[in-house]
Amino acid sequence: MHKFVYYLIAKMNARLIFVISRNYHILMLLIVFLFQSCGNSAPKTREEQYTEIEKQEITLTYLVNDNKIYSHRTDGAILFGENPKMKVYCSVTNTSDYSGVFKLYAKLTSQGNVIDFEDEKYIGAGSTVELSEEKEINPYSFETNVEFGDWGIIAPTKTVDIEVVKYRTVPIE
């Protein structure tokens, strides 16, 4: 029985020597790598903050006074050939840091009639301007049940330079 055990141990040692000899190159590379990494520590670095100017497209911000649009009908003098007029208006405040041209659009309906209104004006940063348009109307329309079908403000977009904070890794000397 002892001979058999010795035989197995000798066989296992022979196989182990064979495996080691086949992987000798890998084993040597691992040993070299371990010795090199033991002596050298990783280089010291730190994060450094810096700023950069980037172009960015923004839409200007605004407020509509009372968040409402108003309409006003002015009677005409039919005997003198003056038709009545309908005026649509609202006050817009440019709340952004940049100036631009803002546009009002509105659709007014009454008794089956529809009128489209548009106006656009330059509004400086922080300024308030009234956007309005007045149109002549049929003398027998827009007397009752006047409603806004759709209305809104279209704010301009601008490409502006914005300072952005970024970080980079730098070595410590």
The upper half-sphere exposure of residue 71, i.e. CA atoms within 13 Å in the direction of its Cβ, equals: 23
44 falls within a domain: no
pLDDT digits (tens, 9 = 90+) for 52-78: 999 999 999 999 998 889 988 887 666
pLDDT-based confidence at residue 101 (cuts at 50, 70, 90): very high
Position with higher pLDDT, 15 vs 47: 47
Lowest mean pLDDT among 81-90, 98-107, 117-126: 81-90
Residue 12 domain boundaries: 2-39
172 falls within a domain: no
7 falls within a domain: yes
**98 and 27 in a common domain:** no
**107 and 67 in a common domain:** yes
171 falls within a domain: no
**72 and 23 in a common domain:** no
pLDDT of residue 9: 61
How many domains is the chain partitioned into structurally? 2
**33 and 62 in a common domain:** no
**85 and 133 in a common domain:** yes
- Give the integer Cα–Cα distance in Å for 138 and 149: 19
pLDDT of residue 14: 55
Tell me the two tokens of residue 147: 């409603």
Position with higher pLDDT, 6 vs 129: 129
The vertex-49 CA angle with 44 and 52, nearest 5°, equals: 135
Phi and psi angles of residue 84, each rounded to the nearest 5 degrees, phi first:
-65, 165
**81 and 24 in a common domain:** no
pLDDT digits (tens, 9 = 90+) for 150-167: 899 999 999 999 999 999
**85 and 8 in a common domain:** no
Task: Count the neighbouring beta carbons within 10 Å of the beta carbon of residue 96.
Answer: 18
With a cut of 80, say whether residue 40 has pLDDT above it: no
Provide mean pLDDT across the span 79-95: 86
With a cut of 70, say whether residue 23 has pLDDT above it: no
**68 and 11 in a common domain:** no
Mean pLDDT of the chain: 81
**93 and 151 in a common domain:** yes
Pinpoint the alpha helices (H) of the chain: 2-22, 24-39
